[in-house]
Structure 1
Amino acid sequence: MEDVEIRRFEPGDRDWLVAAHQDHYARAEGFDETFGVLVGEILDAFLAGHDPERERGWIAWRGERRLGSIFCVGLDEETAKLRLFLLTDAARGKGLGKRLLATCMDFARARGYRHMKLWTHESHRAAGALYAKTGWRLASSEPVVSFGQPLVEQHWDIDL
């Protein structure tokens, strides 16, 4: 995937990113419409008030086609949160996830964050394997009902 460019998230990416998350997780895991609403709220808050020096989003592109996303947002002075990590089906299994994750973590380190956290679900096995392979630790796991589905929520963290 060397022909893929990783660009900064722009406001014009918002609607695609909401739809891509909603469509993928509805199809793959049966998530209801509340998931798309949550993604929209996260993006709206980011657009309304993120600190561009310490928070950033990226979209992976091949030509005119978006392939994925990842975001780094601040939780506090020392801790960043990884958010909205997504790859389209066509982009999976080709190393792009590793590139996006490295982009996000390198940005966090360069901005002085000492730790990162993320929230995901156990069913996202490929992402969990990537996190474990790159040094992230599973901090907690608990059964929940979210987005109309019984899930196992996970929290991961890493020291940078």
Structure 2
Amino acid sequence: MSEITLRRFTPEDTNWLVRQHGEHYAHAEGFDDSFGILVREILEAFVAAHDPERERGWIAVQAGQRLGSIFCVAAGDSTAKLRLFLLTPAARGRGLGKRMLRTCMDFARSAGYADMKLWTHESHRAACALYAATGWTLVDSRPVHSFGVDLVEQTWTIRL
């Protein structure tokens, strides 16, 4: 089996990421098409105006196949935001998520951020367990109706 590498996101990854997020969350959680639209808007904004010194996206790749993504974007002068963290089902359970999270956090630290935050849903149990295991703190949790379904939205933070 070939090595998994993390390479920088390129605009050519956009359609793949939108499709992966849309298909995964429609199947796993019943999300409607508004989620894919949001992912496309996030990626288009990133492509159009990100600061490569302070913001970065990575794509996990093995043998030419994309396996996942993670992004670090500015959420203020001293706060970074983790976005679009996704692993395909075939990539899960191999420590790749932890490696991607560490890469993203290390980049945020080296870019001068003091802390990070992220937004997720309680139903993303594996991701939430990873955040808790790596020192993140759940700071807010509330019921919402988003993407056509009832969810519990969460905000997590960590000091870098």
Partner SS, residue 130 of structure 1: helix
TM-score normalized by the length of structure 2: 0.99
Asked whether 1:92 is paired with 2:92, we answer yes
Q: Which of structure 1's runs of 4+ aligned residues deviate more than 6 A?
A: none
Residue 63 of structure 1 deviates from its aligned partner by 1.0
Partner SS, residue 129 of structure 1: helix
Percent identity, aligned pairs only?
Answer: 68
Distance 2:2 2:87 in 1: 16
Partner residue of 2:77? 77
Partner residue of 1:38? 38
Residue 41 of structure 1 deviates from its aligned partner by 0.2
Distance 2:141 2:44 in 1: 28
Q: Which amino acid aligns with 1:117?
A: K
Asked if structure 1 preserves the Cα contact closer than 8 Å seen for 2:68 and 2:86, the reply is yes
Residue ranges of structure 2 left out of the alignment (5+ in a row): none
Q: Please give the root-mean-square deviation of Cα atoms over the aligned residues, in Å.
A: 0.9
Residue ranges of structure 1 left out of the alignment (5+ in a row): none
TM-score normalized by the length of structure 1: 0.99
Q: Deviations over 1:50-95 (max 9, x none)?
A: 0010000000000110000000000111000000000000001110
Partner SS, residue 76 of structure 2: coil
Query: Superposed, which structure 2 residues align to 1:6-25 within 5 Å?
Result: 6-25=6-25
Inter-CA distance 2–137: structure 2 relative to 1 (3 Å threshold):
farther
Q: Deviations over 1:26-50 (max 9, x none)?
A: 0000000000000000000000000
